[in-house]
A and B are shown apart, each in its own frame.
Chain A
Amino acid sequence: MNKSVWWAVARSEEVNSDKPINVNIGDDPIVLWRDHQGTARALEDRCPHRRAPLSLGCVLGNGMIQCGYHGWTYDGETGHLKDIPNLKSDAKFPKLYRAQAYQVVESGGFVRLCADTKATPIDAPSQSLPLSGSVDVALSHDQYLAALFDDPSLVISIRGVLFTPYLMSELAEVDGQLVLERSCKWAGPHWPSPFTSDFPITLRISTDPVTGESELLLRDDAFKPLLRARVAPVPAARGVTQVRWRAKLESQRSGLRAKLMGLGQPFSVLSSVDGAALRVLRPSASIHAAALRETMTNTQPAEAGVA
């Protein structure tokens, strides 16, 4: 996996000073916590002493993480070992005594990590959307994106909205992102999609070709935004995809159906995928996506990130 990529592994509210958490990037385990100054920190979730998960430890008052096994204590920014409490000594440890550190950037309600400590910090959107959630889906990252492109109803749900098979614009590259726009309609009695002359809403999906982090925009036929969402799928252990998402329902929505979106949960990412439906899902947009992802990531491997 490309080390210089930034992955949105957590939502801001999941990272705190009370209890470190464990996330993955691919098969790599990572421990995340917030130090005493509120800065999110990330280290490999493996104590270099006896390989215990650091996420079973605790965050000390000075913001460092202490392994729960023998108490070795690490600085989150550099990963350097700072204390072995039982040694009762102030001696400094050799540079080699360190856990692997990750670069961390927090913005827009997401915590993003990069394994390359020299990579340029990512310039991610700063606006935080109020609704949010986290799910772990038993589907590989590639297949997860393919499902999102070919039939979003297998992975997300928008209140009162049906996704049709009709694309208003096929998946193509726009400013380094994979973009497609899908026709949608309101749930309820209506003509079947093939006989509909015009659709009342559309869903635009704009996806980073490397991370798959996607911006979703639902608009009505007057081009007014109804809902925005950011969905961040991250490859995790055993072929699972960790998905962190945030969304916002626009306050000005015209039409009864659009107004009804405010009742209950307007947006969610499904925690599991319907295997029977997925197996027979015909690939269409995902075929373009696979080809484009390959050419795009080959031409700009190091710069890939979030738009």
Chain B
Amino acid sequence: MLDVNDTAQADDYVDPVTSDPRTFAAKVNSWVPHDIVLKDAWFPLAHSIAVTKKPVRRAVYSQPFFLWREGEKAVAAEFHPAEDVKTAKSEYSDAAGRYPVIEKYGYVWGWFGNPANASPEHIPSLPYLPEDGGLPKHMLGTVRFDCTAPLSLENLIDLTHADFLHADVVGDEKMDKETVEVFHDSETITMVRTCKNKSVAPIMKMFGGVKDDVQQVRQVIRIYLRSHAAIAYGRFDPGDNVQLFHPCVPETRDRTRLDYAMNTSNVKKTNPFRYMMPKASYKVSRQDSSMTSPQSPRYMQPEKRKDLHSPLDEAGQKYRVLMMALAERQAKGDFAYRDNVSADCSEIIGYQKP
């Protein structure tokens, strides 16, 4: 095969997850998410509909991103067009202070890192979002978290939390059996949780027309590590599938912006669930915030006491180690994508295109 990309160190790469268990445990317990700043990634900075002629301000690790449209085209710049005192330009934008931009899946994605490495193939695959966007406004929303983005994602990938924190929305921990499977590569981690005869989500009882008391549940969380963006895909039987895109943009090291898209176009137009479910995010995110906000300062500095883990934490532990492995590689100057994040992941998440 022709050597077309820059994965020069390909051969000495060791999968941090399959390495020695003691090294793995030591890594897990040295987790200081605030210290992790990953570069060379696309971030879904705004819903396409939020970007108009008038510039809006976003940030990635405090680095300013002003987004607006020139004609139809979305642009991203380091400086506001009306800014007269310009500070020194960073290395993340071109001579004119512009960042690489792509519009896809109904989002404006800005590249944070070396502009020369920006390539469309590093945009994550999001199978159930239309590539050209166009989802109705009621399926979109914005939520902010007062915590570091990796904590929000670690929260998401351990779904046992939902049984306690979101029991009033998605149902409690009562079920016959729960299994968790975890898959990863160097750029992604995917967790599949299967629950047998789980208490029906109250929101599905109330608005989704589900009459039964238990349902079969298969939930998938797939995180694109560098982009800090997650797919949250749930299959419910009986009940409708839930198709959520859950990006966690690290606007600063301890504040996170979530411009979500919940595609409920699979739900019958006459079913109120189609309109209610996307709005549940406001309630659910407040509940998450009640835990991740007080957690965040407790993860700002190295901590002598190790976190305790259960077998259900496999995904969260691997997420930590994979993030740290990426950070270590970047510290050594290796910014290459070892795995392709834009390849269609429908099969991995168990999604069938309609």
Using an 8 Å CB-CB cutoff, how does the interface string of B287-304 with A read, 1 for contact, 0 for none?
Answer: 000110011001100000
Q: Which residues of A contact B164 (CB under 8 A)?
A: 66-71
In the complex the two chains form, what is the Cα distance from A85 to B161 in whole Å? Answer: 11
Measured CB to CB, the nearest residue on chain A to B177 is A88
Most B C-beta atoms less than 10 A away, residue of A46, A51, A88, A97: A51
- Interface status of A225 (Cβ within 8 A of chain B): no
Given contacts A52-B295, A68-B165, A71-B173, contact A88 B308 (CB under 8 A): no
Please, which residue of chain B has its CB at the minimum distance from the CB of A51?
B298
- What residues of B have a CB within 8 angstroms of the CB of A84 in the complex? 310, 312
Q: Are B178 and A48 in touch, CB under 8 angstroms?
A: no
Complex Cα spacing A48 to B306, Å? 8
A53: B residues at CB distance < 8 A: 294
A46 contact set on B, CB distance < 8 A: 298
* Chain B residue with Cβ nearest A47: B308
In this complex, the member of B154, B178, B290, B291 whose beta carbon has the largest number of chain A beta carbons within 10 angstroms is B291
Please tell me if the beta carbons of B161 and A69 are within 8 angstroms of each other in the complex.
Answer: yes
Nearest-neighbour CB distance to chain A for B291, whole angstroms, equals: 5
User: B150-187: which have CB < 8 Å to A?
Assistant: 154, 158, 160-161, 163-165, 173, 177-178
The answer, yes or no, to whether B333 is at the interface (CB within 8 Å) is: no
Assess whether A259 is interfacial by the CB under 8 Å rule. Answer: no
Do A52 and B308 touch across chains, with their CB atoms under 8 A apart?
no
Q: Is the CB of B178 within 8 A of A49?
A: no
A49 neighbours in B (Cβ, 8 Å): 307-310
B interface residues, tally (CB under 8 Å): 23
Q: Whole-angstrom distance between the alpha carbons of A249 and B37 in the complex?
A: 62
Chain A residue at minimal CB-CB distance from B298: A51
CA distance A68 to B287 in the complex (A): 10
- Measured between beta carbons, the chain B residues less than 8 angstroms from A96 are 308
| A97–B310 alpha-carbon span in the complex (Å) | 10
Asked if B305 lies at the interface with its beta carbon under 8 angstroms from chain A, I say: yes
* Residue B21 interfacial (CB < 8 Å): no
Considering the complex, give the chain B residue whose CB is closest to the CB of A97.
B308
A234 to B: closest C-beta gap in Å:
21
- Tell whether B81 is near chain A: CB-to-CB under 8 Å: no
Chain B CB within 8 A of A210 CB: no
Contact A81 B312 (CB under 8 A): no
Q: How far is the CB of A299 from chain B (nearest CB, A)?
A: 33
Interface membership of A56, Cβ < 8 A: yes
Chain B hits for A66, CB < 8 A: 164
**Chain A hits for B178, CB < 8 A:** 86, 88
Given contacts A46-B298, A51-B307, A84-B312, contact A69 B163 (CB under 8 A): no
Q: Is A87 an interface residue (CB 8 A)?
A: yes
User: Which A residues lie within 8 Å of B311 (CB)?
Assistant: 87
Residue A190 at the chain B interface, CB threshold 8 Å = no
Residues of A within 8 A of B290 (CB): 56, 68
Partner of B158, one of A51, A67, A70, A87: A70
Within 8 A of A (CB), among B4-26: none
B310 touches A87 (CB 8 A): yes
Which of chain A's residues 1-51 have a Cβ closer than 8 Å to chain B?
46, 48-51
Q: How far is the CB of B341 from chain A (nearest CB, A)?
A: 27
Knowing A48-B307, A68-B165, the reply to whether A87 touches B312 (Cβ < 8 A) is yes
1/0 per position for A78-95, CB-CB distance to B under 8 A? Answer: 000100111110000000
Measured CB to CB, the nearest residue on chain B to A55 is B294
Cα distance A48–B295 in the bound complex, in angstroms: 11
Chain B residues whose CB sits within 8 angstroms of the CB of A69 once the complex forms:
161, 164-165, 291
Contact partner of B160 (CB less than 8 A), chosen from A56, A68, A86, is A86
A86 touches B312 (CB 8 A): yes
Q: A46-B298, A56-B290 are in contact. Are A70 and B308 (CB under 8 A)?
A: no
Q: What residues of B have a CB within 8 angstroms of the CB of A86 in the complex?
A: 160, 163, 173, 178, 312
Q: Do B173 and A85 have beta carbons less than 8 Å apart?
A: yes
Shortest CB-to-CB span from B20 to chain A, Å, is 21
Compute how far the CA of A86 lies from the CA of B167 in the bound complex, rounded to whole angstroms.
13
Q: Which residues of A contact B294 (CB under 8 A)?
A: 52-53, 56
Q: Map CB proximity to B onto A55-81 as digits: 1 under 8 Å, 0 otherwise.
A: 010000000001111111000000001
Inter-chain contacts of A68 with B (CB < 8 A) = 164-165, 290-291
By a CB distance below 8 angstroms, the chain A residues around B305 are: 48
Instruction: Write out the residue numbers on chain B whose beta carbons fall within 8 Å of the beta carbon of A48.
Output: 305, 307-308
B154 proximity list for chain A (CB < 8 A): 50
Q: In this complex, what residue of A is CB-closest to B303?
A: A51
Chain B residue at smallest Cβ distance from A69: B291
Contact assessment for A70 and B307 in the assembled complex, using a CB-CB cutoff below 8 Å: no
Q: Which residue of B lies closest to A67 (CB)?
A: B164
Q: What is the minimal beta-carbon distance from A131 to any residue of chain B, in angstroms?
A: 34
**B residues near A87, Cβ cutoff 8 Å:** 310-312
Q: Chain B residues near A51: list those with CB within 8 A.
A: 295, 298-299, 307
A71 proximity list for chain B (CB < 8 A): 160, 163-164, 173
Residue of A51, A56, A86 with most partner-chain B CB within 10 A: A86
Residues of B within 8 A of A88 (CB): 177-178
Smallest beta-carbon distance B309→chain A, Å:
8
**Structural contact, A50 and B310, CB atoms closer than 8 A:** no
| Least Cβ–Cβ distance between B221 and chain A, in angstroms | 15
Pick the most buried of B160, B298, B308: most chain A CB atoms within 10 A of its CB: B308
Tell me, in angstroms, the Cα distance from A55 to B295 when the chains sit together: 13
Nearest neighbor of B310 in chain A, beta-carbon distance: A84
A-B contact pairs, 11 of them (CB 8 A): A48-B305, A50-B154, A56-B294, A66-B164, A69-B291, A70-B160, A70-B161, A70-B164, A81-B308, A84-B310, A87-B312
Give the B-binding residues of A (Cβ under 8 A): 46, 48-53, 56, 66-72, 81, 84-88, 96-97
Task: Taking A48-B308, A52-B295, A69-B161 as given, write out 10 further A-B residue pairs in contact, using a Cβ cutoff of 8 Å, ordered by the A residue number.
Answer: A48-B305, A50-B295, A56-B291, A68-B164, A68-B291, A81-B308, A85-B163, A85-B173, A86-B178, A97-B308
What 6 A-B pairs have minimum CB-CB distances, sorted nearest first?
Answer: A51-B298, A86-B160, A71-B164, A48-B308, A52-B291, A69-B291
